[in-house]
A and B are shown apart, each in its own frame.
Chain A
Amino acid sequence: MSEVEQASPEPDSYVCERVRRALAADPRVGELGITVRVVGRRAFVSGSVATPERRQAISTVVTEVLPAYEVQNDVAVTPLEPGSEIEMLG
């Protein structure tokens, strides 16, 4: 958008890592395991988190970090099947 950005566009890998840093550091999220991918002006985030609130907070933070990008949030809320698996170990 700005002339500076047009003069020297930030490589996508730096953009992705900027987002990953924000997702780890932002107190609304605090997640390390989110995958971030950037294609053109679209940002894709994926992975899994424990709650729907945290999934939504990821969209909020990515949008704040990359206001000019369209954000696609493919993060899942960890699905829990009912019941447990039982294993004999000794």
Chain B
Amino acid sequence: MIRVAAVGDVHVGADSVGRVRPHLEQVAGEADLLLLAGDLTRVGEPEEAAVLVEELRGADVPVVAVLGNHDYHAGQEQVVAGMLEDGGVRVLEGEGVVVETRSGPVGVAGAKGFGGGFAGACGSDFGEPLMKAFVRHTRAVADGLEKALAGLAADVRIALLHYAPTETTLQGERLEIYPFLGSYLLGEAVDRAGASVVLHGHAHAGTEKGFTPGGIPVRNVAQPVLRRPYNVYCFTAGGETGCDGASRA
């Protein structure tokens, strides 16, 4: 059995020193891998990334992450990602990695994702250049995710996002902001490529458990939703849970 710990939206700042690390000291006893679903920092300053790297030293398992919109705010996302990589965290954007954990291989395809909304109420590639650019960006990110997922040679394949791939994990958020919280294009990409689960954050007021239209489980692991340091998801190697109906959620 492979155990995957996941959390997003830890929003680490200079004021977080010593606050995250104590929660991560048990992770090696509970999980084989730790996934971070974006909004790792408060506003994406390198100083904040330095605090995060230091706090993550408490976690004695491989760590894979995607960035979130907060990690882009200061315009230093490349620096932040580089500092995390130097600190031993694999940061994914439109790419996949198979992590050889002590319990077996786990494939992770990661992307920040983007907004746009959900089927029946989403932005269209139409009109002003800015509107087209917005929708095309989400489509490009979704295409990258699909390719990365499809290329993962592992029985357990996880899609790691910041933005939501479905509205089913947004219950509790205001309907008016759904288009800023995620896009159905991300869910469609996952349903096409197949996955064991999709993990995302970003929707602090949403709910943990949902599913894609194709029936793949989706978990919103934003820390304000979990109200725990992280949750742990377990997989028996060899079994895919996707594409067999929404009843699993």
Contact = CB atoms under 8 A, between A and B. Distances in A.
B241 interface: yes
A53 B42 CA distance: 12
Main secondary structure of the interface of A (DSSP, over half): loop
Contacts of B5: 84
Given A30-B43, A86-B231, A89-B235, A78 B224 contact: yes
A33 B204 contact: yes
A73 interface: no
Given A88-B234, A90-B196, A50 B13 contact: yes
Contact residue range for chain B?
35 or more
A51 B15 contact: yes
Interface string B202-228: 001100000000000101000110111
Contacts of A82: 228-229
A2 B73 CA distance: 36
Contacts of B3: 86
Contact residue range for chain A?
20 to 34
A30 B42 contact: yes
A89 B236 CA distance: 8
30 contacts: A30-B43, A30-B70, A50-B10, A50-B12, A50-B13, A50-B42, A50-B223, A51-B16, A51-B19, A78-B223, A80-B23, A80-B223, A80-B229, A81-B227, A83-B228, A84-B30, A84-B229, A84-B232, A85-B228, A85-B232, A86-B3, A86-B233, A87-B231, A87-B232, A89-B234, A89-B235, A90-B156, A90-B197, A90-B239, A90-B240
